[in-house]
Structure formats: structure tokens, C-alpha cells
Amino acid sequence: MSKLVIYSHGKDSIPWGEKPLALAEVAKHQGFEFISPDYQASNDPDWRVQQLLAQDLSNYETIVLVGSSMGAYVSTVAAEIIKPDGLFLIAPAFYLLGYARTEFKPTTANIEVFHGWQDDVVPPENAWLFCREHRARLHMLDADHRLLSILPIMATAFERFLGDCAA
């Protein structure tokens, strides 16, 4: 049974920064493959969605989409077609100017969101709005947009989350 995590990085991030490296370690422990596509060629979130949808996922029984900031938007929009077993979202860039979509139909009930109270890029209330609409588990912590200060807490939650997705 093959299991995959796809991590979508944020607008000004790289595919293998601190967050994806930490989460990849957790995923490998749980028997998941982990890929992090490079979206740096374009800051257009909907172009990035198309790149994600172009992945061949036919060999996987369990798929979990993870995204940070713009990558969380990308993962959530792509989830409508990919129909993942779970969505793990970090400071999701929802309801912002310049993003085509303001309504989401993620097709999974297994959604977990981490957001920082000190986020000055995406207002914390945007995460709350999304979570309320989709009955998602929301973790609001004393952190900034990058959430690196709470990475150990997030990694522990991700481990439990992957266990739930694979069950």
C-alpha cells in the first residue's frame, strides 16, 4: 500500500526549507513518500494548482496534501480534484486579493490548520472563517506567518494526522 505526502511551499519559499524538511522526516517515519514540487517559476497560485494537478498520483492509495501559505491555497483548490485522504494547512492564504478562489470544496473531512496569532501576512480570522465553514481542526498559536517557532508542535500533530489519514 503506497502512501504519499505532497508539500506545496509558499509564494516566496523554497521546496525544501525548514518546514518541509521537518515534515518529510515525520512522513518517512510513518511510511509515506514525500515530495515537494518546485513552484518558484511562477507566483500565480492558479498556475501552481495546475502544476500540482499534473502530478501522476495513480500509484498511491493514500494521499495527503500539505501546504504553507500560498501552498495551502494550492493544496485546497487541488483537493477538489485529487480527493486526498487529508489536508494539512499551515497559515493558509485564503480570502486574499489576487487569489481567484474565495470558495472551497476540499472533498475531505480530515482537515487540520495551523495559524499564528502574530501573522501579519494572512489575517488569523481568515483561517478561522475557513475552519468554521469546513469544520476543520484549528490550532491558533503564538507565532508569526512562518510558524517556525512552533515547528515541533506542528510536527507532533502532523504525525498523529498522518496516522489518522492512513487508518
Query: Domains (ranges, CATH) in the chain?
Result: 3-166 (3.40.50.1820)
How far apart, in whole angstroms, are the C-alpha atoms of residue 94 and residue 134? 13
Q: Based on C-alpha coordinates, what's the Rg of the chain?
A: 14
Q: Is the pLDDT assigned to residue 1 strictly greater than 70?
A: no
**What's the predicted TM-score (pTM) here?**
0.97
Average pLDDT of the chain to the nearest whole number:
97
pLDDT score for 91: 98
Q: What would the pLDDT profile of 55-101 be if each residue is shown by its tens digit?
A: 999 999 999 999 999 999 999 999 999 999 999 999 999 999 989 99
* Strand arrangement of the beta sheet that strand 86-90 belongs to: 33-35, 3-8, 62-68, 86-90, 111-116, 137-141
